[in-house]
Amino acid sequence: MAAKRFFDDSDQDNNKPPGDKRMRTTPRPSFASVIGEVVMVKNLQNLFSGLEPLLRRVVNEEVERVMRHCTVPRTISRSPSLRIEAASLEKPSNYELMFSKKLLVPIFTGSRIVDIDGNPIQVILVDKSGGDGELVAVPTSVPQPIKLEIVVLDGDFPNNKESWTTEEFNNNIVKERTGKRPLLTGELNLTMRDGIAPIEEIEFTDNSSWIRSRKFRVAVRVAPGSNHTLPIRQGMTEPFVVKDHRGELYKKHYPPKLNDEVWRLEKIGKDGAFHKKLSKEGINSVQDFLKLSVVDVHRLRKILGVGMSEKMWEVTMKHAKTCEKGNKYYVYRGPNFSVFLNSICQLVRADINGQSFPSRERSNMTRSYMEKLVREAYVRWNDLEEIDAAFLTQGMFYNI
C-alpha cells in the first residue's frame, strides 16, 4: 500500500498539467493598455463635440425649409382684412378711429344715442404722429372711402391702445343674450369720407346689468373684409351703464326745461319728500322753482326743510340754473311804472315815472321799491303781458 500524500498548495500549483480546465485568475491590464483606452474615448468625445454644431445647423435649415413651403401659400391666400389686422399687430399705426365727443349719459334702451351736446355721434380719423404723440384730427388723405363697423365692447376692456391687440379687441366684443334681439341696432355699417363718419341712428335693445362689469363701450373698427390696406387702430367710447327704457320715466334732464316737472332736478325724487312738499306749495315745474328762488329764496329753503342739506341744495340749484330761459319776457304795468322780467322773474328793465333804471347812482329806496314791484309781479304772474325779446333791444338792463 502506497504511503498517503498530504495536500500541499504549492505542490499542486507547480504540478498542474497544461490542459487543466479549472478557473484561472484574470491577468491585470497593463499600464499601456489603460492609457490607450483613455485616448480613444477622448478622441470620440472631441469628434461628437465637433459634429454637434454641424448637425444643429443642418436640422435648423431643414426645419426652416419645410416651414417656408408650408406657410407661404397660407399667407398669400389671406383676405385683405386679415392682412390689415396683421399689419396693425406687427407695427404701431399712426392712424386711429375716434369718437369726436363723449356720449350723453345716462343711456336707455330704445333711445337714440347722441353726443354730450345732443347731436348725432361722429367717428373721425385722427393722426397721433404729430405733436408729442397727441391725437390730432387731420383730413384723411386716403384715396378711397373706409368701410367701418360699430360694435359693443365689455366696459372693462382697457382704453390704453398699447395694451391690447386686434385679437383681444375682437374677443371682447359683446353679443346679444340668447333669444334676444341684436344688442345694438341702427346704422352699424358706415362709410368714412374725408375723415368723418356721422352716425344718425343707433340704440341699445338690452341693458348692461347682465355682464360682470355692468357697463358697455361703443366701439368702431375697420369692417372685416374691407379692401383697405392702411393700418388703422380701433376706437371706443368711455364705459357707461345702459338702463331699461322704463327708467327713462324717472331720469333727470340735462339741461332741464322750464316746463319740466320739478322732480327732474337733481336731489328731488319723483313722489319723494321734497317733491311732495313743493307740490303742496304749488311749485310743480322747474320754472316755478326758479321763480321762487329769485323772489324769496329763504321761503324756498323753508319749504324743502332741514332734510335738504347745504350740499344737496347747491347741487339742486346748480342743476336748475343750467335751464334755458328762452326769449320770452313779461311786463308788469302800473299807473307810473313798467317792470320787465325774464321767464324766471329776474328783473331786466324798469321804467318808473318816465325814467329807466338802473342808473349808476341809485338809492337804497329805489332798489327796495323795484324789489317790491318784482314780488308783486310774481304774485300776479298769470296776469302779466308776454312780449318777445325784440321789444327789449333798447334801454338799460338790470339784474337782481
| Average pLDDT estimate for 76-95 | 48
**Average pLDDT score over residue span 306-330:** 93
- Per mean pLDDT, which range of 162-166, 194-198, 297-301, 383-387 is the poorest? 162-166
List, in sequence order, the alpha helices (H) in 153-296: 166-171, 273-280, 286-295
pLDDT of residue 130: 60
Cβ atoms 244, 108 nearer than 8 A: yes
Tell me which DSSP letter residue 197 carries. E
Q: What percent of the chain has pLDDT over 90?
A: 40
Question: Tell me: the pLDDT tens digits for 340-368?
Answer: 999 999 998 888 887 777 544 456 667 88
- Residue (of 346, 320, 309) closest to 257 by Cα position: 320
- The residue that leads in pLDDT, 141 or 374, is 374
Structure pTM?
0.45
Mean pLDDT in residue range 148-176: 86
Whole-number pLDDT of residue 218? 96
> For 230-243, how does the pLDDT look when each residue is reduced to its tens digit (9 = 90+)?
788 899 999 999 99
Which span out of 31-35, 84-88, 323-327 was modeled with the highest average pLDDT? 323-327
In angstroms, the CA 296 to CA 110 distance is 41
| Local structure of 88: helix, strand or coil | helix
pLDDT digits (tens, 9 = 90+) for 201-222: 999 999 999 999 999 999 999 9
209 secondary structure, DSSP code: T
Identify which has the larger pLDDT, 80 or 259. 259
d(C-alpha 264, C-alpha 135), whole Å: 37
Among 131-140, 320-329, 368-377, 383-392, whose mean pLDDT is lowest? 131-140
Does residue 63 carry a pLDDT above 60? yes
Evaluate if residue 42 carries a pLDDT over 70. Answer: no
**Whole-number pLDDT of residue 82:** 40
Region 84-246: CATH code = 2.60.40
The ranges assigned to domains in the chain are 44-77, 84-246, 252-320, 328-392
What is the average pLDDT value for the chain, to the nearest integer? 78
SS (H, E, C) 317-342: HHHHCCCCCCCEEEEEEECCEEEEEC
The pLDDT of 147-160, averaged and rounded, is 89
Vertex 202, ends 198 and 207: CA angle to 5°?
A: 145
Q: How confident is the model at residue 268, as a pLDDT?
A: 94
More confident site: 14 or 35: 35
pLDDT confidence of residue 88 = 42
Higher pLDDT: 60 or 155? It is 155
Sign, CA torsion 333/338/340/344: negative
Q: Is the pLDDT reported for residue 7 higher than 70?
A: no
pLDDT top residue among 366 and 316? 316
Q: Which residues pair with 192 in a beta bridge?
A: 146
Residue 188 has pLDDT above 60, yes or no: yes
Q: For residue 329, with 0-12 CB atoms within 10 Å meaning exposed, 13-18 middle and 19 or more buried, which class applies?
A: buried
Mean pLDDT, rounded, for 134-155 = 76
Q: For residue 365, what pLDDT is reported? A: 62
For residues 372 and 332, give the distance between their C-alpha atoms in angstroms, rounded to a whole number: 12
* Per-residue pLDDT, 131: 52
Please determine, for residue 165, whether its predicted confidence score (pLDDT) is greater than 70. Answer: yes
Q: Is residue 224 within 8 Å of 80, Cβ to Cβ? A: no
pLDDT for position 39: 59
pLDDT at 310 over 60: yes
Under DSSP, the state recorded for 385 is E
